[in-house]
Amino acid sequence: LFTGKFLASAARGFVQTFILLILAYVVFQLFTPFSFLIILLIALVFAAAASTLGLIIASIARTEDQATWISVFFTMATVMLGGTFFEITEGSVLYLFGKASINTYVNSAFKTMIIRGGTLTDVALEIMVLTAVIVAGLIISRVLFRVMPGGR
């Protein structure tokens, strides 16, 4: 049950990102076929990291409504702190808080690959951070996870 929830969530997130990246590739031709594969790897690791955070939220929340609102708050915070919509000035307080957001690392990796034409070694730190989030998230969520009567 636990593994199924993790894999289903990660796969759903990856498929959504895959569709958007295919469209970006076809319409804007932003990257080469090889860099496209690396970007897909980054997207897969990010989807898995986000999935583990979702498992932690689901394990903490007592009701579906609580899980929804925790997720909304968490998503808004990570998106704003991660520099998704605007650049965060280096050295600022928001920049320091942003280091706690997985969006910071995935956005940095995407920018390195798409804008700067980077390689896999250029985004190794970001992938390692996201992988550490996956491992820690799986451990924490597994400890907190409980099967609820009624299939929840």
Cα 34 to Cα 38, 110, 116, 118, 134, distances in angstroms: 7, 14, 14, 11, 25
Domain count, the chain: 1
* Residue 152 maps to a domain: no
Residue 148 predicted with pLDDT over 70: no
Indicate whether 136 belongs to any domain: yes
79 located within any domain: yes
**Is pLDDT above 60 for 150?**
no
Give pLDDT, residue 128. 98
Look up the domain containing 65 and give its range.
2-144
Is 116 a member of any domain? yes
Rounded to whole angstroms, how far apart are CA atoms 91 and 22? Answer: 35
Dist. CA 93–CA 30, nearest whole Å = 32
* Residue-wise DSSP of 77-142: HHHHHTTSSS---TTSHHHHHHTT-HHHHHHHHHHHHHTS---GGGGHHHHHHHHHHHHHHHHHHH
How high is the pLDDT of residue 66? 93
- 151 domain residue, yes or no: no
pLDDT band with cut points at 50, 70 and 90 for residue 31 = confident
User: Is there a domain that residue 127 lies in?
Assistant: yes
What is the pLDDT averaged over residues 1-29? 91
pLDDT score of 2? 80
Mean pLDDT of 114-139: 95
Note whether residue 108 is domain-resident.
yes
| Mean pLDDT value across residues 134-144 | 94
Q: What is the mean pLDDT of residues 11-33?
A: 91
Q: Is residue 87 part of a domain?
A: yes
- Per-residue confidence (pLDDT) for residue 52, from 0 to 100: 96
